[in-house]
């Protein structure tokens, strides 16, 4: 049987490039579309940034103006002839803040969380610069377990916040209970 010979008389052999060219054109169209979309998004973002920068500049100018006004008011308040009035107003503001703390509310909130075998020896509320109240307490118990229970119930309560145990004293001849000095943040509004 004679062998078939394939003879190509063309100057260049036939290649199947059509699928590769079609895929390349499709990829080029997709890349051009994504480039256009990204360019559009960049232009929109540039407009937003310009608006944000203008707002920030305006707010910075307002802050500077308020700072200048505050420093001029502080300068007036710190004059020697106004010092007495300033001290008196600070004293009255401090007294009004302390008067705004409700002892009844403090004791009713503490009553809900203090276990029956823990004795409250003393309570002293303190107000910080952000008008947040913290309670400095001394509690007594026959053992340390009820005090740990108290600390856990204070932290779980929505009226109280983080607690810290500062020191403790063992029982003595005059005082039969362990004494613990505890501080806790308190959520009462002034």
Domain that holds residue 171: 101-186
Return the CATH number at 125: 3.30.70.2830
Evaluate whether residue 4 is within a structural domain: no
111 with 148, same domain: the answer is yes
117 with 42, same domain: the answer is no
- What is the pTM (predicted TM-score) of this model? 0.50
Q: What confidence tens digit (pLDDT) does each residue in 5-50 have?
A: 777 666 666 677 888 899 999 999 999 999 999 999 999 999 899 9
Evaluate whether residue 51 is within a structural domain: yes
Evaluate whether residue 8 is within a structural domain: no
**What is the pLDDT, as a whole number, of residue 9?**
66
**What is the pLDDT, as a whole number, of residue 46?**
92
Q: What confidence tens digit (pLDDT) does each residue in 5-14 have?
A: 777 666 666 6
What average pLDDT is seen over the chain? 86
36 with 107, same domain: the answer is no
| Measured distance CA(50)–CA(10) in Å, rounded | 64
73 with 112, same domain: the answer is no
Q: What confidence tens digit (pLDDT) does each residue in 71-103 have?
A: 988 888 778 887 788 788 888 877 776 677 788
Give me the percent of the chain exceeding a pLDDT of 70: 92
Work out how many domains the chain is built from and give that number: 2
| Measured distance CA(55)–CA(4) in Å, rounded | 83
69 with 106, same domain: the answer is no
69 with 117, same domain: the answer is no
Of residues 94 and 138, which shows the higher confidence score? 138
24 with 56, same domain: the answer is yes
- Indicate if the pLDDT at residue 190 is higher than 60: no
* Torsion from C-alpha of 96, 101, 103, 107, nearest 10 degrees: -170
């Amino acid at each position: 049987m004679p062998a078939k010979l394939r003879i190509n008389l063309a100057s260049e052999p036939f290649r199947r490039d059509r699928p590769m060219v079609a895929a390349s054109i499709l990829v080029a169209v997709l890349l051009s579309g994504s480039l256009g979309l990204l360019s559009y998004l960049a232009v929109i973002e540039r407009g937003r940034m310009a608006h944000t920068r203008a707002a920030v500049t305006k707010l910075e100018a307002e802050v500077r103006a308020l700072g200048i006004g505050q420093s001029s008011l502080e300068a007036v308040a710190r004059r020697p002839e106004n010092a007495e009035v300033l001290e008196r107003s600070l004293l009255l503001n401090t007294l009004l803040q302390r008067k705004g703390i409700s002892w009844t509310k403090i004791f009713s909130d503490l009553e809900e969380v203090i276990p029956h075998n823990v004795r409250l020896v003393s309570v002293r509320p303190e107000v910080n610069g952000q008008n947040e109240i913290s309670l400095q307490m001394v509690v007594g118990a026959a053992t340390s377990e009820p005090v740990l229970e108290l600390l856990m119930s204070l932290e779980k309560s929505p009226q109280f916040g983080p607690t810290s145990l500062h020191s403790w004293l063992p029982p003595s001849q005059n005082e039969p209970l362990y004494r613990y000095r505890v501080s806790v943040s308190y959520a009462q509004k002034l």
